Chains A and B, each alone.
Chain A
Amino acid sequence: MLWGAIYALVAVGLSLIWGVMGILNLAHGDFLMLGMFGAYWLAILTGIDPLIGLLIVTPAMFILGLGIYKSLITRIVKAPRLTALLATFGMGIFLRNLAHFLWRADYRMLGDTLVGDRVITVSILGGTNFISVPKLLAAGGSLAATALLYWFIKHTKTGRALQATAMNRQAAALMGIDTERMYMLAYGLGIACVGVAGTLLTNFFIIFPEVGIMFVLFALVAVTIGGFGSIHGALIGGLIIGLIESVGGFVGIPALKQALVFAVFVIVVVLRPRGLFGWAD
């Protein structure tokens, strides 16, 4: 269930990029992976704990996002839909295998972190539940980051400019907004989101090159359920997925809980492509 918050953060980044520039950033999960590896290597090589590393990795990811935007995404935005889709996918594949190449496929975990493996016991409904602290922190951090982003978009001038660009690029440009910069900002923010999520995940999750795939697919489902283009939609979508996953884990075969998420996804796409809060493509 706590996973939902993490999925939500990843989904929010995806939704932001989609909403502003119409690109489905299928490499999103692989940027998450990069964030994770970034925090990992930072911890291993310099001993900086991920929780502190957050302050380093996040801006670094933001700048990486800006860089990627300037070099590749500008062109992808102009390409026809099919090739654009394949291009972001290709980016992801490239990054994934680059990680493979550099760091091999081994699963890694960070052992010695500030939060460690601490567990708190909580009594809910009579039964005793163990909640892992790093997971809780990750969920909490993700929610905090999402809230921060949400506040930024709704209540700052730049945020509102982003919204305007998302809704109608031409109109925004006519109003004096530098839409190119908005695009770049959106992409940077989206990548920063997964930077945060990735760093928080390194506290307790396994780090390996393919880790991004499931996350991006789940983020995609979240964005679809919540509605393309809507930030709070992505948040709610992410939480719903977390819910489906836990329910699926209880009720059905654990291995099939992923299939359950995808099944819900297909149903939503077929019945209501706009999702809960989105506007039509």
Chain B
Amino acid sequence: MGRLKPLMVRQPRIFWRKNYIFIVAFALLLALPFIFTAHFQHHVMIKVLMFAFLGCAWNIIGGYTGQVALGHAAFFGIGAYTSSLCYIWFGLNPWFGMFLGGILAIAVSAVINYPCFRLHGRYFAIATLALGMIIRLLFTNWRLVGGALGVRLPLLPESLWNFQFHTTKLPYYYIALVFCALIFAILYKIERSKLGFYLRAIKESEEAARSLGIDVAKYKLVAMSISVFFTAMAGTLYAQYVLYIDPISLMPLMTSILICVVPVLGGAGTLWGPALGAPILLIAIEYSRAWLGGGGRGVDYMIVGAIMVAIIFRPAGLTSFFQGPRFRQWWRRIRG
């Protein structure tokens, strides 16, 4: 299956058999909450999974297609708000609300991001950044959706249908795990499909892509739509997890940046990038915050800042460590 195979190197497909190590890893993931049982540890694990998910979603437009979008937190927020408000106003079940949030995110992004597609890299990045800020400011000042005070979700009896759990947060972990498995599977399929090839072509050279019959604008829109749909999904998950959403904590610039740094740290445009970036970044943040007494001491983000600077030493991301010939020999040996 070639799962730990970033797209920078090629190998004939000998990975099909002998994947027992992946089965072991997945089993480990399933058992993880029972190995680390503290409430805080569960919280961190859920956050890690959520950001891995968000990172994968960003990867679609940012990593594979090469369009660096720095405003994704806005769509995260749109997802959260849509499902929450649809429940509060119309009694719509959050699972359907989640789907609706995704659709709404696609609609919004089609309108605001489409004109930005003809911008080159840096301009696109700052345009999306500004758009993200505008949306956050809008939500903060929009009384209909609660303004700066946000929205509190009503407590419901816990169940999968209600998408709320109170006695333990474990179900959220497994839901997040399912989400992650879903998006990894989808990305895996996309990588090998026409869409995947086209997106990578666009990233390399839009001019060449056009000369090969690729409607660049359309495919950028497709990539963006898929990306924001999943980003919004994660927003709903988050809303159901914390049961309280407000623009300041939901859509700050920092969230957009984290969504972008997670895959870039791991390796933009690779399947496993976010899986590497998320744990490292999130664990660093959450634990530094916890150990150093919290209360806004800032060490957590100092670490983030330092990591962001450190990326320049390895622009291809952490997965590039798994590309060298020595690693591949070792890898082949342990898989038997």
B-contacting residues of A (Cβ < 8 Å)?
24, 72, 75-76, 79-87, 89-101, 104-105, 209, 213, 217, 220-221, 224, 253, 255-256, 258-259, 262-263, 265-266, 269-270, 273, 281
Contacts and interface: CB of A to CB of B under 8 A. Distances in A.
A220 B127 CA distance: 11
A281 B137 contact: no
7 contacts: A76-B312, A89-B308, A95-B305, A97-B300, A98-B298, A255-B137, A263-B134
B134 A281 contact: no
* B127, B268, B301, B312 pick with most chain A CB within 10 angstroms: B312
Nearest to A100: B298
A154 B118 CA distance: 34
B133 interface: yes
Interface stretch (B37-45, B232-240, B256-264): B256-264
Contact of B116 (A24, A84, A209, A269): A269
B264 A72 contact: no
Interface of B: 68, 115-116, 118-123, 125-127, 130-131, 133-134, 137-138, 140-141, 253-254, 257, 260-261, 264, 268, 296-302, 304-309, 311-313, 315
Given A90-B305, A97-B302, A101-B302, A259 B120 contact: no
Contacts of A262: 130-131, 133-134, 137
Given A94-B302, A101-B299, A266 B127 contact: yes
A247 to B, nearest CB: 17
Contacts of B296: 100, 104-105
Contact of B309 (A24, A72, A269, A281): A72
A93 B304 contact: yes
Contacts of B298: 96-101, 209
B287 to A, nearest CB: 15
B267 to A, nearest CB: 12
A91 to B, nearest CB: 6
Nearest to B117: A270
A81 B121 CA distance: 8
A256 B140 CA distance: 9
B141 A94 contact: no
Contacts of A273: 119-120, 123
Given A101-B298, A269-B126, A86 B134 contact: no
Contacts of A87: 308-309, 311-312
Given A98-B302, A269-B116, A86 B311 contact: yes
Contacts of B312: 75-76, 79, 83-84, 87
Contacts of B68: 82, 85
A259 B299 contact: no
B305 A91 contact: yes
Nearest to A253: B141
Nearest to B302: A97
B308 A255 contact: no
Contacts of A263: 134
A86 B311 CA distance: 8
Given A86-B261, A87-B308, A90-B309, A24 B137 contact: no
A93 B253 CA distance: 11
A83 B264 contact: yes
Contacts of B131: 262, 266
A82 B137 CA distance: 26
Contacts of A105: 296
A98 B296 CA distance: 11
B122 A79 contact: no
Contacts of A213: 253
